[in-house]
A = this chain, B = another copy of it.
Amino acid sequence: MSATDPKATRTGRPRSTAADAAILDATRESLVDLGWSKLTMSDVATRAGVAKTTLYRRWAGKNELVVDAVAVLFDELELPDRGSLAADVQGVVLQFAALLERPEARTALMAVVAESTRDDSLRRRIRSAIVDRQKRLVLLGRERAQARGELRYEDDASAAARNADLIFDVIAGAVVHRTLVSAEPVDAEWASGFTSLLLLGLAGAQAG
């Protein structure tokens, strides 16, 4: 993407985009059937109708492959304007929870995060492919709330950034923990209780 930056003037046989898609599809399919731990490169290659060597020409290993395969799921996250900050928060919570109900996402997300604790390049990959895309929703939601007058515009830019990071960790962390650790459903009732807790906290911060 950055180092060689080919794409244009490039000689030789081009990479098969069909193979790319087939491999990523096969990876998600294998995640559903086998889960993270039993997924193997050989199995993915077979499902994709592709030689195993073709996988290794594109991805360094299982970690990187799965991150890319799962990342597209997070592109489905959106933040339509629901008219109020409360509705926006509750909407994104339910949407994120629905994503975590999908078996490919459940089994892969925690696993790659676990791997990333010992692999900085993998952590950066996760950040750019998954985490940053989620965080944009928080920033967008804040902007909308500020435009509506529900939240104050903040003077200190770095304090505002820290605040956004905090809210992001609270929202994403709570949903992930509820879903994967406590292993209980994020239904409308829970989302409502969580949203009111968060918004009351934000309101209190605006006041005091």
A residues with CB within 8 A of B:
35-37, 103, 106-111, 113-118, 123, 126-127, 131, 162-163, 165-166, 168-170, 172-178, 180-184, 190, 193-194, 196-205, 208
Contact = CB atoms under 8 A, between A and B. Distances in A.
A27 to B, nearest CB: 16
Contact of A117 (B117, B131, B180): B180
A150 to B, nearest CB: 15
Contacts of A169: 174, 177-178, 181-182
A145 to B, nearest CB: 15
A contacts with B: majority SS: helix
Contacts of A197: 166, 170, 198, 201-202, 205
Pick the 9 closest A-B CB pairs, nearest first: A200-B204, A173-B177, A201-B201, A173-B173, A110-B114, A111-B114, A197-B201, A173-B174, A35-B118
A80 to B, nearest CB: 24
Given A37-B115, A169-B174, 11 more contacts: A35-B118, A108-B114, A109-B114, A116-B183, A117-B180, A170-B170, A173-B176, A173-B178, A197-B202, A197-B205, A198-B201
A200 B208 contact: yes
A113 B180 contact: yes
B174 A194 contact: no
Nearest to A123: B183
